[in-house]
């Protein structure tokens, strides 16, 4: 299963996803989601 698929299952709007991490590693929508991992979605943001 990819990050994109999980986002779909959760009903998240892809436009409202800015940063994704899997077990603390920044990831992308097409990355696979390993079983038992910690997956985080953050809104679009920029550092400052």
Partner 1 sequence: MKLLRVNMSAHQVHWDAVPPVYEQLGGRALIARLLLEEIPPTCDALGPNNRLVFSPGLLGGGGVSTAGRLSVGGKSPLTGGVKETNAGGTAGDTLPKFGIKAIIIEGQPQPDEWYLLHITADSADLLPANDLKGQGTYATADRLQERYGADCTVICIGQAGEYLMHGAGIAVTGERDQRSNHAARGGLGAVMGSKGLKAIIIDKPLGKTMPFADAELFRASARTFAQKLINDPKLGTKGSQHLYGTASIVGAVNEIGSLPTRNFSSGNFEGAADLRGEHLRELILAREGKVGTRCMPGCVIACRNSYVDDEGKPIVGTLQYETIALMGSNLGLNNLDDVAHLNYMCNDFGVDTIETGAALGIALEAGLAKFGDTEAILALLSQVGEGTTLGRVIGNGAVITGRVFGIRRVPAVLGQAMPGYDPRSLKGNGVTYATSPQGADHTAGNAFGARKEVNPLGIEGQRELSLKLQIISAMLDSTGLCLFARPPVIADPQLMVDMINGIHGWGWTKEDLDRSNRDVLRTELEFNRRAGITSEDHRIPEYMRQEPLAPHNTTFDVPDSELDAVFNTL
Q: Which residues bind partner 1 (CB under 8 A)?
A: 15-16, 18-19, 21, 24-28, 40, 42-48
Name which of 11 and 24 has its Cβ closer to partner 1.
Answer: 24
Name which of 35 and 48 has its Cβ closer to partner 1.
Answer: 48
Q: How many CB atoms lie within 10 A of CB 31?
A: 15
CB of 9 to partner 1, least distance (A): 21
* DSSP letter for each residue of 1-48: -BHHHHHHHHT--GGG--EEEETTEEE-TTSB--TT--EEEE-S----
Name which of 10 and 15 has its Cβ closer to partner 1.
Answer: 15
């Amino acid at each position: 299963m990819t990050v994109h698929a999980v986002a779909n299952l959760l009903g998240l709007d892809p436009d409202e996803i800015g940063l994704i991490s899997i077990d603390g590693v920044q990831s992308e929508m097409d990355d696979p989601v390993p079983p038992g991992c910690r997956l985080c979605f953050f809104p679009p943001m920029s550092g400052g």
